[in-house]
Chain A
């Protein structure tokens, strides 16, 4: 007689796996990748391939070295590489981009125990490291090439830098900012592409609305309160990519609904603080990192009370 499988219930599982979730994120980032190629040319593809390839190699290499189970198949390294690439300027030297990927995977993710264990967002942290180490190349913004012929293309500054300098006269139009026809990182300029991808993630229930709405809502509200250009603040910088793709990273953000709201509001407030009163024109990455550190506390604070029931007196 053949030996029958004996296992603990349940004996049914939903089809979703870590791999399908990561695949959904990759699909959701596709519009942003396409937008980056349209606006910044084929070199953006080179940066993306560079980051993704190094991320995969770093994951594989580290796990090989430490004799850990190979997890390249779960596609999380691809997602990390992809998000990091979309957070870099198009003209960044390839070795710097590669270094960023290496830091994201090895230092931020693997050294803390691999997938699910990293307390900080790998892409955001790597971006901050690059920004501090190579502030020159990390803030030299290419002019979008696609519409070079058009008269209203921006010069080599991002809308946020312009706003920080008080140079509102040279701000691109809202439409350009919405489409992505402005200076900035590869994947952060096109709000349209990012929102499309974000909606896909919402529809697939990979993420919930709480974080993006709280994050973007706080930035909009605070801009209004501070008398700034609300639309320009929302459409520029890394806000939208962070709100949909980075502040929703499972490992480094709260899992409860209220936790997600607090996380989003916190990120929004810190972003505003840095943008309006800080030294940097952009504060999204820093806000993510700071809120990442608070995540375990937020999670604990917002944990649902188990339904222990009440006795009728």
Chain B
């Protein structure tokens, strides 16, 4: 049995575009929070010279990630700025000198066992490049028995419309993906590797299958192009047949999930020592003149990236970090490319115009398309009635915000938005309940 999902338009216009490196931008703005967890702590100050690959911020706490500069130049200023996610973080603004001198810090790490491998991955600044931005090393930090890892699922599903950057990784950097697999075999003692990929990427599938045939323990699982195939829970279920428990991690069902581009990056880092300082991203959307895949230093402004894609053929009315299903709308074009940005989608007015919301007609399309079998209709009702207990029974905290419900809703209701609000309400309720319980003791 497969989980439910929806058919979305693919729009993979850039699948044949090999990534091009953009000219070094005049200035980059690097936010200290490009990952899940605590923002990184800056270690450079105004006026400091930085080089490519130089660490500019340290990880703060366990779930955090260091940040490196992708350009050579001078730190012009450091200031608190609002991110598109809606909170303020310090950002380092670096004026580039265009020389792109590589820092002497960049050298291949000394890796000989799992501990040193995990440490190296941590130092690389690697986070989940598929979009979530979860620090990668945490996934490999397994204390004790490595036999709990039954399978490693490599996520190359790329189910969002427009985005082809992971597809390009498999086409252009398949060798590095398989070097990454060898690393995980060596240090994580992984025996079974599954590359999960949607069937609308024939070239990438062919490349993966060709290399998988030569490698022991690797299978390429071709999945139907059904959104959200690349969602972690969905992919794990559709590849190894197990459901990650609520609030749990893939490791709870014996699986490590890693994005294909993240894996290729790690292989490259272990080889060269060049940390995560640039990103390959798809630039597409109805407002973009020449949709293509571009490689840009982290911190490059969206305006510079769009410029490199031939500029805009229409005034962009909405610009997204990521794809149209889960992407985040940016407030303006000065917003920087971040570690987890895999696409910039710029929509013209027609594509961007939100549809008119009408009354719920109770058709049930939302609950009949939810991959996790939630009932968004009932959740919306419970949220409106302020019924936190009901929200708990309806398991709203399970929602992964994939957007299937909103996509299929004929009344165009903001179901994902309501789910997000309902999740916050439930969190608040549970915290209050916990506090009361503790008070009673």
Residues of A within 8 A of B (CB): 1-2, 4-14, 16-18, 20-21, 71, 74, 76, 114-117, 250-251, 254-257, 303-312
Closest to B253 in A: A312
> Do most interface residues of chain B lie in helix, strand or loop, or is the interface mixed?
loop
Are A4 and B248 interface neighbours, CB within 8 A?
no
Closest to A253 in B: B362
Are B358 and A18 interface neighbours, CB within 8 A?
yes
Report the separation of the CA atoms of residues A254 and B367 in the bound assembly, to the nearest whole angstrom: 12
Report the separation of the CA atoms of residues A158 and B315 in the bound assembly, to the nearest whole angstrom: 65
**Can you list 16 residue pairs at the A/B interface with Cβ under 8 Å?**
A2-B317, A6-B329, A11-B318, A13-B406, A14-B410, A21-B361, A116-B411, A117-B359, A250-B361, A305-B373, A308-B245, A308-B398, A309-B242, A309-B245, A310-B242, A311-B253
Closest to A312 in B: B253
Known A71-B358, A255-B364, A310-B243; contact A303-B378, beta-carbon cutoff 8 A: yes
Are A250 and B362 interface neighbours, CB within 8 A?
yes
Interface residue? B325 (CB, 8 A):
yes
What are the residues of chain A within 8 A of B254 when measuring CB–CB?
312
Are A9 and B317 interface neighbours, CB within 8 A?
no
Are A308 and B420 interface neighbours, CB within 8 A?
no
Query: What does the 1/0 interface line of B394-429 toward A look like (CB < 8 Å)?
Result: 110010010100111111101011001000000000
Report the separation of the CA atoms of residues A255 and B377 in the bound assembly, to the nearest whole angstrom: 10
Report the separation of the CA atoms of residues A118 and B322 in the bound assembly, to the nearest whole angstrom: 40
11 extra A-B contacts, CB within 8 A, seeds A12-B9, A76-B361, A309-B245:
A1-B333, A4-B317, A4-B329, A5-B354, A7-B354, A10-B406, A11-B327, A18-B361, A115-B358, A250-B362, A308-B395
What are the residues of chain A within 8 A of B243 when measuring CB–CB?
307-310
CB distance from A55 to the nearest CB of B (A): 17
Are A9 and B364 interface neighbours, CB within 8 A?
no
CB distance from A20 to the nearest CB of B (A): 7
CB distance from A254 to the nearest CB of B (A): 8
Are A9 and B245 interface neighbours, CB within 8 A?
no
Are A306 and B398 interface neighbours, CB within 8 A?
yes
5 tightest Cβ-Cβ pairs between the two chains A and B: A255-B364, A10-B403, A309-B245, A309-B243, A306-B395
What are the residues of chain A within 8 A of B360 when measuring CB–CB?
116
CB distance from A255 to the nearest CB of B (A): 3
Interface size class of B (residues with CB under 8 A): 35 or more
Known A18-B358, A304-B375; contact A12-B325, beta-carbon cutoff 8 A: yes
What are the residues of chain A within 8 A of B410 when measuring CB–CB?
14, 16-18, 20-21
Report the separation of the CA atoms of residues A245 and B345 in the bound assembly, to the nearest whole angstrom: 42
Closest to B161 in A: A12
What are the residues of chain A within 8 A of B358 when measuring CB–CB?
17-18, 71, 74, 115
Report the separation of the CA atoms of residues A18 and B358 in the bound assembly, to the nearest whole angstrom: 8
8 A Cβ contacts from B339-380 to A = 345, 347, 352-355, 358-364, 367-368, 371-375, 377-378
Interface residue? B277 (CB, 8 A):
no
Report the separation of the CA atoms of residues A154 and B113 in the bound assembly, to the nearest whole angstrom: 91
Interface residue? B246 (CB, 8 A):
yes
Interface residue? B324 (CB, 8 A):
yes
8 A Cβ contacts from B305-329 to A = 315-320, 324-329
What are the residues of chain B within 8 A of A257 when measuring CB–CB?
368
Report the separation of the CA atoms of residues A18 and B326 in the bound assembly, to the nearest whole angstrom: 24
What are the residues of chain B within 8 A of A6 when measuring CB–CB?
318, 329, 331
CB distance from B344 to the nearest CB of A (A): 13
Report the separation of the CA atoms of residues A8 and B324 in the bound assembly, to the nearest whole angstrom: 10
What are the residues of chain B within 8 A of A9 when measuring CB–CB?
324-328, 401, 403, 406, 416
